[in-house]
């Protein structure tokens, strides 16, 4: 009988604490190596060139060419229109206004009748003065007759020399009386003429300050203001066609000097930034250059560029919002440029 060998299974020996720590360190090292490989792979991916981005299309702009010409230098100020002649019409005699012979705002000529003051009291004064003048002239004539008689008698010594001198003095007194009454007649005649008030100048009538029936006093106040409107003053005489009126405020431009060879661009070209005004200059390669400039006085739709731009350079006048310094621009055709420049706006192509 053959003997059989039976192997008894060996039980596994449990790991010690030091062996467990070694295994954990080995696992951590493996994980660290894996992470390092992944990081290197990601870095390699980042170093690859990015796909090309879409290029920015050229900005649609309108341009204008700077020009060179002589420019007047002027001073703007606020002035006031002043009538060349202004007359305040006042009564020269007292009385009641009986007639009004003009309309407010009427164009008057010198000598045109304006008002009539009741002339009857002044006519009566003239008649009385005329009667006194006739009486004084009669007395003078009689005194001269008596002086002639006295002259004949004194020659024959029929009367005393004293009597002759008395008659001669009576003639001189009568002559003085005639002169005095003549002056009274002339005064009465003038007062009667003053009852008819006429325009002293050519001009436009203002608003009347009295109506028929009002009683006025000599030199007491104005009845009417008349102003001559052609020509009219605004610090200097100008032709007006009645577009300028006394008292109206006007803008006055005084030419001081002429700036020769000034560079002009449309007023829409200069833009304002935090560093000051600038323009976009379109270069030969259709790129835009941001150019700081110094602007001067405005001339209508154009403005003077004192510094930073030369005549002949093209500047953007519309479409600024889409322009980038150094970026490409597309200049619209001439017809569209004129339209855009006038509106100050630019859209895309249709």
- From first to last of its 350 residues, what are the pLDDT tens digits of the chain? 444 444 544 444 555 555 555 666 666 676 777 777 777 766 665 555 556 656 678 888 888 888 888 888 876 777 788 888 999 999 999 999 999 999 999 999 999 999 999 999 999 999 999 999 999 999 999 999 988 888 888 888 888 888 889 989 999 999 999 999 999 999 999 999 999 999 999 999 999 999 999 999 998 889 999 999 888 887 654 458 777 777 778 888 888 888 899 999 999 999 999 999 999 999 999 999 999 999 999 988 999 999 999 999 999 999 888 899 999 998 876 434 443 344 344 443 33
Tell me, yes or no, whether 297 and 184 share the same domain: no
Tell me, yes or no, whether 199 and 112 share the same domain: yes
Q: Establish if 13 belongs to a structural domain.
A: no
Q: Establish if 273 belongs to a structural domain.
A: yes
- For the chain, how many structural domains are there in total? 3
Axis-axis angle for helices 161-194, 120-155 (nearest 10): 160
Q: Can you give the pLDDT at residue 272?
A: 92
Tell me, yes or no, whether 188 and 209 share the same domain: no
- Residues with Cβ within 8 Å of 323's Cβ and at least 6 positions away in sequence, in order, are 59, 61, 280, 288, 316, 329
| CATH number, domain containing residue 199 | 2.40.50.100
| CATH number, domain containing residue 68 | 2.40.420.20
What 3-state class would DSSP assign to 137? helix
Q: Can you give the pLDDT at residue 75?
A: 67
Q: Name the residue range of residue 209's domain.
A: 85-117+195-232
Question: Taking a C-beta distance cutoff of 8 angstroms, is the pair 114, 197 a contact?
Answer: yes
99 φ/ψ sector (left φ>0, alpha ψ -120 to 50, else beta): beta
Q: Can you give the pLDDT at residue 344?
A: 41
- Burial level of 257, CB count in 10 A (0-12/13-18/19+)? exposed
Closest-CA residue to 216 (of 203, 201, 197, 231): 197
Tell me, yes or no, whether 154 and 215 share the same domain: no
**Strand ranges for 199-275 from DSSP E:** 203-205, 215-216, 224-233, 237-238, 249-266, 271-273
Q: Establish if 136 belongs to a structural domain.
A: yes
What is the rounded distance in angstroms from the CA atom of residue 297 to the CA atom of residue 273? 19
Q: What are phi and psi of 208, to 5 degrees?
A: -70, 150
Tell me, yes or no, whether 213 and 135 share the same domain: no
What is the rounded distance in angstroms from the CA atom of residue 136 to the CA atom of residue 158? 29
Tell me, yes or no, whether 186 and 221 share the same domain: no
What is the rounded distance in angstroms from the CA atom of residue 145 to the CA atom of residue 133? 19
Q: Establish if 36 belongs to a structural domain.
A: no
Listed in sequence order, the DSSP H helices in the chain are 17-46, 120-155, 161-194, 334-343
Q: Establish if 325 belongs to a structural domain.
A: yes
Tell me, yes or no, whether 182 and 212 share the same domain: no
Q: Concatenated DSSP letters for 245-256?
A: -TT-EEEEEEEE
Cα separation values, 100 from 107, 174, 196, 215, 237, Å: 15, 44, 10, 13, 33
Tell me, yes or no, whether 137 and 102 share the same domain: no
Tell me, yes or no, whether 173 and 135 share the same domain: yes
What is the rounded distance in angstroms from the CA atom of residue 161 to the CA atom of residue 148? 13
| CATH number, domain containing residue 152 | 1.10.287.470
Q: Can you give the pLDDT at residue 222?
A: 92
Q: Establish if 162 belongs to a structural domain.
A: yes
Q: Establish if 306 belongs to a structural domain.
A: yes
Q: Establish if 10 belongs to a structural domain.
A: no
């Amino acid at each position: 009988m053959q003997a059989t060998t039976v192997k008894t299974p060996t039980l596994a020996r449990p790991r010690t604490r030091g062996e467990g720590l070694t295994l954990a360190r080995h696992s951590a090292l493996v994980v660290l190596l894996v992470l390092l490989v992944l990081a290197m792979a990601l870095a390699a991916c980042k170093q690859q060139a990015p796909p090309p981005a879409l290029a920015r299309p050229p900005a649609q702009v309108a341009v204008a060419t700077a020009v060179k010409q002589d420019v007047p230098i002027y001073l703007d100020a606020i002035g006031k229109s002043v009538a060349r002649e202004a007359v305040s019409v006042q009564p020269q005699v007292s009385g009641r206004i009986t007639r009004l012979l003009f309309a407010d705002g009427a164009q008057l000529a010198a000598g045109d009748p304006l008002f009539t003051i009741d002339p009857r009291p002044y006519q009566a004064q003239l008649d009385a003065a005329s009667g006194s003048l006739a009486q004084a002239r009669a007395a003078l004539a009689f005194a001269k007759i008596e002086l002639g008689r006295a002259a004949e008698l004194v020659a024959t010594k029929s009367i005393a020399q004293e009597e002759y001198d008395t008659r001669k003095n009576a003639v001189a007194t009568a002559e003085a009386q005639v002169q005095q009454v003549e002056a009274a007649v002339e005064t009465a005649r003038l007062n009667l003429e003053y009852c008819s008030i006429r325009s002293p100048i050519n001009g436009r009538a203002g608003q009347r300050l009295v109506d028929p029936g009002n009683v006025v006093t000599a030199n007491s106040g104005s009845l009417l203001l008349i102003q001559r409107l052609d020509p009219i003053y605004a610090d200097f005489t100008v032709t007006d066609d009645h577009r300028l009126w006394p008292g109206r405020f006007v803008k006055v431009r005084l030419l001081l000097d002429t700036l020769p060879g000034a560079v002009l661009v449309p007023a829409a070209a200069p833009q304002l930034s935090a560093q000051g005004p600038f323009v976009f200059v379109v270069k030969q390669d259709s790129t835009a250059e941001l150019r700081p400039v110094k602007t001067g006085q405005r001339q209508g739709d154009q403005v003077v560029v004192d510094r930073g731009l030369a005549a002949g350079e093209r500047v953007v006048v519309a479409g600024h919002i889409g322009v980038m310094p150094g970026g490409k621009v597309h200049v619209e055709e001439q017809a569209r440029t004129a339209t855009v420049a006038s509106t100050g706006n630019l859209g895309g192509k249709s």
